[in-house]
Amino acid sequence: MKRTWQISTVTDAAQARIALARLAAAYGVPAVERSRLAVTLSAHLRQCLTKGGTWRLALTAVGAPGEEGRLRVVVTPAPEACAAGEPPWELTVACPETGEVPEPGAGAEDAEALAEALLGADEDTAVVLDKLTEQEELVAFHREELHQTNQGVLALHADLDAAGRAQREAFAAERRARTEAENARRRLTFLADASAVLTASLNHDEIVRRLPDLLVPEYARSVDVWLFESDDDRYRPTPHPAAAVIAARTGRPQYAADHPGGLPGVDDQPPSALDPGRPLLCVPLPTRRAPLGVLTLSPPGERWDPDDAVMLIELTRRASIAIDNARRFEHNRDIAETLQRALLTDLPATPGLRLAARYLPATHGLNIGGDWYDAFRQPDGSLITVVGDVTGHGLHAAVMMSQLRTALRAYAVDGGSPGRLLTRLHMFLHHLQPDLYATAVIARFHPDDPTLTWAAAGHPPPVLRTADGRVQTLDAKPGAMLGIPLTQEIADHTVRLSPGSTLALYTDGLVERRALGIDPGIERLASALGAFGPAELDADLEDAADRILHPLLSDSQRDDDVCLLLCHLHGGPGAEAGQPS
């Protein structure tokens, strides 16, 4: 199908537009597309009329019946426009229907036709307006949706920003917590290490000397220790800050400065008149009875951190306990040493016989124990030598040892052989302390008899070195321990001596080691005694005692009291030592 119109006036253009709209409607072109086609064509025809001349409008329908076709609109310019180079104008519109459309009826120019065309155009315009309204509503909907989305995005950004701030604050709090934990760990480590250093010593002067070394320069610029009761010249009365005096009187820490300290548990005081420009922390050294003194510190910087101050107060408390314990120990040690000196006998001088003794307690620092030695004369002129060992250590064992020593001397006044004396000691101990036991060995020398008589009760055997350097262990059958619930008669044993012989009496602490037993220790003692030359024991028996002890005690496994008593007959002509009986 093809339609053609010649257009030279406005009426021609309007009639062509009306006819084109009807044909487009007949071919099923949607109203919106028809309106767009009419408006576009009207705008072009208006331009053509402005230019003048006659224009030809051709409408062609392309497409097979039953298929979607296309309407092709071509406006050809007048010959004078073509000569001027005006190109044809063309527009194509899709149409659902194709085929032949009847010719429009006559009377297209009457008023009814024009009215009908106008109403049709209004209908198309109404459709367009409806579509426009739908689009506006859709736009409004999308605008609201976009607004809501924007609000959501803004809210999300706000949440993300808040989350970011919260995360930064959490990270900052974590860093602060980590720093505080590290500082707390550092303080606790220092407090533990410093406490170990202070409690490692039992000398209160040494503890006081160690305090400045521990605190300066990390926690204090200077440290002053004021002890109330001290004989040391370093602690003679000197001027002390008023805050230290208040701390001594009240028992509470004091802070003296021109500004509040803000330290927990510490009272603020005015600056010290002795040094107004320097803050001072005065902490009493507390005990259960009364303060021992006052520790005065100056800060390493402008002031102390409150946690550092708490740690320093705790360290001062521990230092006070260490000083008090050391003073108590020193007092008890002095008592123990006095008691021990009273219990250990001065060895008597005997013609032809020299004695040397050594005693080492197992309780380190407290010189008292249950081992003892003694030497005294009997009415008949014999010399009794004894070495004993009471079970246990410390003051109780020493008291029991003293009672045994006194009882032995009392029994020896009545005479009696070593075996008889040990038998009586056994009965005495059994009735006096049924739950306490002891061992002992007694050797008797007589100036007119070259025979040695000895007896042992549960004790390591004596070791005898003869003048020619031979060493033998006097291991004849001993009695049982003293004090056990057993009736026993302890036997005597004898051996002939010659000048130059040396007898060693000792306790098991000298020769016994838990990992090795006692026999290897006795063999070492015998080897040490046999290693001396013929004249060395005659020349210096005291030095010989030290030389015997040194190799036997060189290890660190000793955990018992040690007692050694050497009895040496002066060298000279005489009979050879005989066999024990």
Q: How high is the pLDDT of residue 556?
A: 53
CA angle 202, 237, 265 (to 5 degrees): 70
* 503 secondary structure, DSSP code: E
Using 50, 70 and 90 to split pLDDT, how confident is the model at 163? very high
Q: State the amino acid at position 231 in one-letter form.
A: D
CB 452 within 8 A of CB 495: yes
Q: Which CATH class is domain 204-339?
A: alpha beta
Average pLDDT for the chain = 85
Provide the pLDDT confidence category of residue 581 given band limits of 50, 70 and 90: very low
Among 142-146, 338-342, 411-415, name the one with the lowest average pLDDT. 338-342
Segment 145-157, tens digit of pLDDT: 999 999 999 999 9
The topology under which CATH files domain 2-109 is Heat Shock Protein 90 (3.30.565)
Single out the residue of 276, 278, 258, 256 nearest to residue 266, CA to CA.
256
pLDDT of 512 = 86
pLDDT band of 400, cuts 50, 70, 90: confident
* C-beta neighbour count of 121 within 10 angstroms: 17
Instruction: Give 221's DSSP letter.
Output: S
Report the greatest alpha carbon distance in the chain.
184
Confidence bin at 113 (pLDDT 50/70/90): low
| Residue that has been written with the tokens 């803004």 in this structure | 154
> Quick one: CA dihedral 213, 215, 217, 223, positive or negative?
negative
Q: Where in the chain is the domain with CATH 3.60.40.10?
A: 344-569
Strands 89-95 and 438-446: unpaired
Q: Is residue 21 scored above 80 in pLDDT?
A: yes
Q: How far apart are CA 564 and CA 482, in angstroms?
A: 20
Dist. CA 565–CA 316, nearest whole Å: 48
pLDDT of residue 83: 54
Lowest mean pLDDT among 139-153, 386-400, 490-504: 386-400
142 CB-contact burial (10 Å; exposed 0-12 / middle 13-18 / buried 19+): exposed
Structure tokens at 436: 């306490």
Q: What is the pLDDT of residues 492-527, one digit of tens each?
A: 999 999 999 999 999 988 998 877 788 999 999 999
Between strands 383-390 and 463-465, the pairing is unpaired
Q: What are phi and psi of 174, to 5 degrees?
A: -65, -40
Residue 141 pLDDT more than 80?
A: yes
> The domain 344-569 is classified under which CATH number: 3.60.40.10, 3.30.200.20, 3.40.50.300, 3.40.50.620?
3.60.40.10
Mean pLDDT, residues 556-568: 80
β-pairing, 254-256 vs 89-95, is unpaired
Put residue 53 in one of left, alpha, beta given phi > 0 → left and psi -120 to 50 → alpha. left
At residue 132, the pLDDT reads 83
Q: What are the DSSP E strand ranges found in 50-110?
A: 55-62, 69-76, 89-95
Q: What are phi and psi of 375, to 5 degrees?
A: -150, 130
Does the structure show a pLDDT above 50 at 235?
Answer: no
Mean pLDDT value across residues 354-361: 89
Output the six-digit token pair for 229: 């009761």
- pLDDT for the residue numbered 29: 84
Please report, rounded to a whole number, the percentage of residues in the chain having pLDDT higher than 90.
43
Where, residue-wise, is CATH 3.30.565 in the chain?
Answer: 2-109
pLDDT at residue 336 greater than cutoff 80: no
100 — pLDDT class (breaks 50, 70, 90): low
